[in-house]
């Protein structure tokens, strides 16, 4: 009887140790990574508009940003805080680069030549989590 209790105690101790070990090594689900489009807005060649025209273009630019955001296509937009050639960024949630190009044509600051858009595919989790490496090509 004493041997049976000793064996049961040993089995219980091993099972408890195994459960504690597994609890600390459970893998968390990997974040769902997807492709977005990062757009760098830079000064364009046509920046010699009079102040009234430049203001009208800027108003249209801001209205377009609002429309694209409400449509769920534009996730991030914003200007840089200096007067360098880099003017701002957009991050689009679109299926293709061609879709981004079509949406950018609706922006008066781009269509007027005040801004040029440099479009790049960009991978991240929807939460914006850090990605330690580029996802594998499928």
pLDDT 10s digits, 39-75 = 999 999 999 999 999 999 999 999 999 999 999 999 9
Token pair of 116 as six digits: 């040029």
CB 80 within 8 A of CB 87: yes
H-state helical runs in 1-138:
2-24, 51-70, 97-104, 108-111
Q: How far apart are CA 64 and CA 127, in angstroms?
A: 24
Q: How far apart are CA 19 and CA 137, in angstroms?
A: 37
What is the per-residue pLDDT across 90-109, written as a single tens digit (0 to 9) for each?
Answer: 999 999 999 999 999 999 99
Domains and CATH numbers, the chain: 33-125 (3.30.70.1060)
Give the angle subtended at the CA of 122 by the CAs of 69 and 43, to the nearest 5°. Answer: 70
What's the rounded mean pLDDT across residues 24-49? 85
């Amino acid at each position: 009887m004493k041997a049976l209790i000793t064996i049961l105690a040993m089995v219980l101790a091993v099972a408890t140790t195994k459960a504690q070990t597994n609890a600390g090594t459970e893998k968390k689900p990997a974040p769902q990574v997807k492709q977005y489009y990062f757009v760098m807005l830079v000064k364009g060649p046509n920046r010699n508009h009079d102040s009234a025209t430049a203001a009208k273009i800027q108003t249209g630019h801001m209205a377009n940003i609002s429309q694209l955001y409400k449509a769920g296509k534009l996730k991030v937009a914003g200007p840089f805080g200096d007067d360098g050639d880099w003017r701002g960024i957009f991050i689009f949630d679109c299926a293709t680069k061609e879709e981004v190009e079509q949406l950018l044509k609706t922006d008066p600051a781009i269509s007027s030549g005040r801004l040029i858009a440099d479009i790049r595919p960009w991978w991240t989790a929807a939460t914006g989590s850090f990605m330690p490496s580029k996802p594998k090509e499928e």
